[in-house]
Structure 1
Amino acid sequence: MTRHLILIRHAKSDWSDPALGDFDRTLTKRGERSAVAIGQWLDAQSFRLDTVLISAARRTRETWELLSGQLSNTPEAHVLESLYHAPPGTILQAIAKVETGNVAIIAHNPGLAALATQLSCGQHNHPDFSRYPTCATAVFAFEDWSDLSEGRAVLEDFVIPRELLSDQGSD
């Protein structure tokens, strides 16, 4: 049975308050719109999520809160400290603990972009794939966890919020 791994970078975060540390940054208005748009897109594409693993940073948790409100199902969600600025290997270790179903990760660059590049094995042709902008979402299909480590996952889709939003108002 085909499973899906969905890699979602957190939505656009606010840098305007220098007193806030990186971990505590919130989303901008644009980020909020992007998270909603990605949630609507996932639901429209029928990518049913069973488990979501979320970095503990505020911006990733806010991204999940807005995105999840657009889904027609309620996946099991886990906030993990280990996903905060995690490298690809740490992200894969977290994924490997999920035994069944479709998994989504909401985390950060550069680790998420590096993992997406590693898994795609050059299959991508989207001009923004390599920079993996905020709220970028890649969907990989695979049969078994070993497909992820052996490079046999198939990149099914990649989308960025700019492609989904007609109103690109200010932050």
Structure 2
Amino acid sequence: MSYVTNTSYGTWNNHIDQYASGLEHSVTEAFGSEGADGFDFDGIVSAYRNAINDALPASVALAGDEFIGPAYTDDQDFDGYLLNEHGELDIKGIVDDIDLWEIVARYELWSADRVAQELGYKTPTANATARKKMSAWGVKAAVHKTNPDSGRVQAYYLSGEVRAAHEARPGQGVGGGKKAQA
């Protein structure tokens, strides 16, 4: 087994956002004054971190708020990856190519009422129908929260999982009827 000596390639602050202390801070700032209410913030951060690590070469990773990778040129296999004007891995360019808002769109929290609206249910029992459909499709609630209007605890579903399950439902062509992957 060969070992590779790793070194720091810099921090999130050095490469991506000089005003943020890390990835989580940048995501928080992206939401602005409205905040991340109505979204699975931890899910967004995790998915964004995974997307970044998937986009980087296999030997480079965002660990915490620091990018680490091979220390020696012989161990740096960056063929096919974006490089800067110095021939070094362009971490900022790679991260900038990831669409944070596409990730955010998959982690919006939808109540049964919102699911019913998205699925086009309009009957007086639309919410119950939506909850039953989520169960039938294998979509589990991401979180249970107290509704500020009714004071009752409600299930909230991830929008991306609802959309994926709806697209994969039986009778929808290729992939129809298979368990959805968000």
TM-score tier, shorter chain, comes to under 0.3
Q: Which has the higher contact order (CA 8 A, sep 6+)?
A: 1
What TM-score do you get using the length of structure 1 for normalisation? 0.22
Larger radius of gyration: 2
Q: Which has the higher helix share?
A: 2
What TM-score do you get using the length of structure 2 for normalisation? 0.21
